Amino acid sequence: MPYSDAEFPILEFDPSRTAIIEPRRRRGRKLAPEAVVLCFFLEVIEAVCGEDRAEEVTAFSWEHGTHSLYALETEWGTVGVYHPGVGAPMAAGMLEEAVAAGGRRFVACGGAGAVIPGLALGHVVVPTSAIRDEGTSYHYLAPGREIELEPGAVGTLTDVLAGHDVPHLTGKTWSTDAPYRETVERIARRRAEGCLTVEMETAALAAVARFRSVSFAQYLYAGDDVSGEAWDHRGWTSSSIRTDLFWLAVEAAAKLKDPASGPTR
* Whole-angstrom distance, CA of residue 124 vs CA of residue 238: 15
Is residue 200 within 8 A of residue 134, CB to CB? The reply is yes
Q: What is the pLDDT of residue 265?
A: 32
SS percent in the chain: helix, strand, coil, step 5: 35, 30, 35
Which of 226, 173, 167, 228 is CA-nearest to residue 204? 173
pLDDT digits (tens, 9 = 90+) for 65-79: 899 999 999 999 999
Dihedral sign of CA atoms 44, 47, 49, 50 in order: positive
3-state secondary structure of 181: helix
Q: What is the pLDDT of residue 29?
A: 64
Q: What is the pLDDT of residue 1?
A: 45
Is residue 156 within 8 A of residue 217, CB to CB? The reply is yes
Q: What is the pLDDT of residue 4?
A: 65
> Which residue segments constitute the domains of the chain, with CATH numbers given?
29-258 (3.40.50.1580)
**CA triple 26-28-32, angle to 5 deg:** 110
Q: What is the pLDDT of residue 228?
A: 94
**CA triple 1-257-204, angle to 5 deg:** 45
Q: What is the pLDDT of residue 170?
A: 98
Is residue 81 within 8 A of residue 70, CB to CB? The reply is yes
Q: What is the mean pLDDT of the chain?
A: 93
Segments of the chain with pLDDT less than 50: 1, 262-265
Q: What is the pLDDT of residue 2?
A: 52
